[in-house]
Amino acid sequence: MPIPEAFIEEMKLLWQNYDLPGSFASFFDSLDQPQVRGIRANGLKIDPQKLSEHLADIILAYDQAKQSPRMVPWNDDGFYIQTDAAAGRLPAYHAGLFYIQEPSAMLPAKVLAAKPGEKILDLCAAPGGKTARIAADLAGQGLLWANEISADRARALLRNIELMGCKNCIISQETPERLADMLSGFFDRILVDAPCSGSGMFRRDNQAAASWEKFGVEHCTLLQQDILTAADKMLRPGGWLVYSTCSFSVAEDEAMISKFMLDHPEYILVEIQGPGLSPGIKYDGDEQLAGTARIWPHVADDDGHFCALLQKCDQAEFELTDYDTGRSINSETRAATEHWLKWSEKILSQKGQEEMKLLMEEWQPRLHNNHLQLLPPETPAFAGLKMVKTGFYLGHFKISGRPDDRTRKNTGPNKSKNKLIFEPAHAWFTSMHADDFAYTLKLAANDEILLRYLRGETIAVDTEDISVQAQKQPQSGDHIVICLEDYPLGYAKMQQGTLKNMYPAAWRLRT
């Protein structure tokens, strides 16, 4: 892999001017080493220990007996995996039990340390690994707002968030400046995993060097400054800000933090410590910058990363904004919600019905273009913003005999004499537990029926194999939730002894 000469000279100057770990030669040699790969347990569904037992065949170990899985040192739910492991084809991946993520990229969300009930912004969120970790830390309580300016990357973010089963996440596709205009001082914690020159990915991504030469550090620093300025506007006094990059360049890392704190003296830098982490560079002789953290490939055998943790003081000047989180529910939305509740009685177990009713007492239904969603508590008004996801997506309504036009204005249950049909969202199933449903087919990871389901095939099934938590046995037309053990993968419809596969086409395994 050719390394840009300008980058080599920049790094040589770092070793000449600062006291850095190891030698420049060892650093340079590390860029030619094979990449490492990792996965992170999805805390919304499974604990790390259970995942390591579930995936012992692909998780690296410290010993040949595989008694001690090799965990990512700076993260409490991450594991190193075999470089040739086809992790994305595993049933456990399709069940949302883990997220495939570079180990170094696991650091920022861990440092952010979100707490249940808080309002969190992931400002540059795609593809969603950090968002998913934040969601696990929130444990379904509070509000998680993920933003991604790129349409293609926002779609990837949406898929990953739905796969992980995040109920309380909303997604926007906006510029940071536009969000800042509408959400002044709203968030308790903000993560800025900033767009950068990407030099930390040189050994992982063959295109990273070409991208570094094309865009350069200077272009990125201007963008990073603007993003941090917007983030500051949206953070409440006393709130926490994490800034991170996958760049080795001081200009994008310590110098960026130094300039931000000079422009915003109301912030203090909080030291980051942990195994595998190296102290930041004391740029311009500033000792406190050593409290930032770096991941060096020749020290940690991983991709390069930088991370800083800042707190905004309680006395910071702040213009209080009274956010409108209450919305009136019109008759169409109310009727649609009642229709859904009636429909769900056939799908959910008694436990599932009780949990959904409790959720709907606190979360507000929203019917938009026949799509029914539940907005998390404290969701602010977002009129005028480009939204990709506005809450917990339940599904959409359509009318029998008409094309499935999802852009049609709300029809509502009272708008037609034709039969109204509700089609549940795949995201609804992946956000729930097997015990929440009336009919489930629980399968082992190596079961051929499960693999056929993931390939989108129609499957035959013995009704005696279906777990029933309802007053009657499943009949034709009933929804059967297909599970990897106790973890829903999706659903199928009973049709005279066979199951019509409803697994989304875009998610299916390719042979």
**What DSSP assignment string belongs to 306-373?**
EEEEEEE-TTS--------------HHHHHHHHHHHHHHTTTB-HHHHHHHHHHHHHSEEEEETTEEE
Whether 74 contacts 276, CB under 8 Å: yes
Whether cis (ω within 30° of 0) applies to the bond prior to 275 is no
**What DSSP assignment string belongs to 434-472?**
GGGBSEEEEE-TT-HHHHHHHTT--EE--GGGSEE-SSS
Rg of the chain (C-alpha set) = 24
The residue among 149, 163, 134 whose CA lies nearest residue 194 is: 149
Task: Using DSSP bridges, classify how beta strands 98-100 and 37-41 pair: parallel, antiparallel or unpaired.
Answer: antiparallel
Whether 303 contacts 201, CB under 8 Å: yes
The residue among 147, 125, 126, 138 whose CA lies nearest residue 165 is: 138
Catalytic: which of 124, 169, 246, 483? 246
Whether 298 contacts 30, CB under 8 Å: yes
Whether 80 contacts 103, CB under 8 Å: yes
The residue among 123, 126, 102, 129 whose CA lies nearest residue 42 is: 129
How far apart (Å, rounded) are the C-alpha atoms in residues 156 and 193?
16
256: tokens are 């960026």
Strand partners, 69: 61
> CA angle, corner 267, sides to 300 and 187, nearest 5?
90
Lookup result for tokens 């979360």: 363
Whether 191 contacts 123, CB under 8 Å: yes
Alpha-carbon dihedral sign for residues 478, 482, 488, 491: negative
The residue among 321, 34, 376 whose CA lies nearest residue 181 is: 321
Position 63: which residue type?
D
State yes or no: is 246 an active-site residue: yes
290: tokens are 């050593």
390: tokens are 């506005």
**Local structure of residue 379 (DSSP, 8 states):** P
463: tokens are 């009704």
Distances from the Cα of 74 to the Cα of 68, 77, 180, angstroms: 16, 9, 31
How far apart (Å, rounded) are the C-alpha atoms in residues 107 and 113?
10
User: Active-site residue numbers?
Assistant: 246
